Structure 1
């Protein structure tokens, strides 16, 4: 009887196949770079939104429910709880709800709002947290001031959003989500928060995005080497503007999902929570999610 054996490619053969694919892609690098540039431009279009942050209100408190997602009693309870917490800790947690982002990126708008209003205990401490909820887009984002970033990391903020806040939103209660979410923030700053990472059932596979990014970077490097080889007299040793845009966009997108962001916003002015916002130093990071 004829014996049947499984056919497997040897490592050398696999390497040659991968390299041949890379070479073929490299030969069409011009078209690939144009395609990547178009995708990159479309990916950053949402950052050019039309949302105008309102002027810092004369009465500065802890809850601004512009989207009217809370009842009068719910707003009052949440507001008083956060003010009491600020009075005892100097940490200002401000909740803002809006009807729509109007095309803005919530991860950019949130820390920018914190900077514009100067949310935080003092400019020296920057103990401010801003929670922004966009009703129409069903998105929420949490950003911490410089003084709290070491405790409220993007990872912890993401856990609180996914595991505590959003389930309550899905159940139909904005108040419960914000109430329990801010309680979790209290625990974080007390050092008592115990996170629980919930693994998605779809997880477990080998991440393909990092491989794609690495291959694209290699292709760009090879392309530059081929273009510059044999042209030593030229000054073209640096990367083109297209390369810089592509590489920077890949770096931003590699974090995936609702991770932290870049950028930096300086401090504001004012007094305490009762007399005004006084911090405002936000790094532009944070975390959030949608439902």
Structure 2
């Protein structure tokens, strides 16, 4: 009985959280595009770079049916990057509804504390090939590393390439940028997972991103478009963005 009550509470909490975030999310783009600069002036990349990245994303979607959507925002609206990216993927329906194979690369450029961030959220169907450790490595070694060097386009380009490699089992984290990981006591892991499950209804709250302080720095050609499915706690269901 207690388990049933707890499960119902978890589901309701997850739905309430999504409803709250959805009210502050940007609307789904029409026509659908895979690179979305929603900042004032839309100058995160040059026009040529934005077009080139869009072509790369569309080509990958066409050849694999896996959608990678890059979204640049100025503010996370007081939510974490995980919450925002996951809700965005769910609201926009990134990825195939059949395979739930969407990926959202979220960049937040706001300067206030805790708002400048980079994060990778995956659809349920991509969680096996892009687990937390891989997503975090891509964020740190591709996105943040290049952003700090003033190379915004290169950071996003390499992140997309790394995600494509991970999807085929070919990705390996650069040895020179790996950080030594400390063993976490099992009890701490269990407690953390329980708390996160209670908050997000399964899989949410996992850290796949990182802040990046101090860095300086069209339309679909083809493809199926976004799908209309929804992101869940840690992953999201697709639906064919389009």
TM-score, normalised with respect to structure 1 = 0.57
1:116 pairs with 2:65: no
Could you tell me how far 1:95 is from its partner in structure 2? 0.2
Structure 1: tracts of 5 or more residues without a match: 1-47, 218-245, 261-272, 287-291
Would the aligned equivalents of 1:126 and 1:281 in 2 still touch at CA under 8 Å?
no
1:161 pairs with 2:139: yes
1:226-241 mapped onto 2 (5 Å cutoff): none
2:126 equivalent in structure 1: 148
Taking structure 1 as reference, are residues 100 and 192 closer, same or farther at Cα in structure 2, changes over 3 Å only? same
Number of equivalent positions = 194
Structure 2: tracts of 5 or more residues without a match: 1-19, 210-221, 236-242
- Which residue of the other structure, out of 119, 131, 139, is the alignment partner of 2:105? 131
Would the aligned equivalents of 2:69 and 2:103 in 1 still touch at CA under 8 Å?
yes
1:55 pairs with 2:27: yes
Larger Rg: 1
Question: Over residues 132-157 of structure 1, what are the superposed CA-to-partner deviations in whole Å (9 max), with x where a residue is unaligned?
Answer: 11001220111111121110111110
Could you tell me how far 1:123 is from its partner in structure 2? 1.0
- Which residue of the other structure, out of 92, 98, 102, is the alignment partner of 2:77? 102
Question: Partners in 1 of 2:206 and 2:155 — Cα distance?
Answer: 21
Query: Helix, strand or coil: the match of 1:187?
Result: helix
RMSD between aligned alpha carbons? Answer: 3.5
1:179 pairs with 2:157: yes
- Which residue of the other structure, out of 50, 75, 78, is the alignment partner of 2:53? 78
Taking structure 1 as reference, are residues 274 and 196 closer, same or farther at Cα in structure 2, changes over 3 Å only? closer
Question: Partners in 2 of 1:62 and 1:101 — Cα distance?
Answer: 19
- Which stretches of structure 1, 4 residues or longer, exceed 6 Å deviation after superposition? 48-51, 209-214, 250-253
TM-score, normalised with respect to structure 2 = 0.68
1:277 pairs with 2:232: no
Taking structure 1 as reference, are residues 61 and 190 closer, same or farther at Cα in structure 2, changes over 3 Å only? same
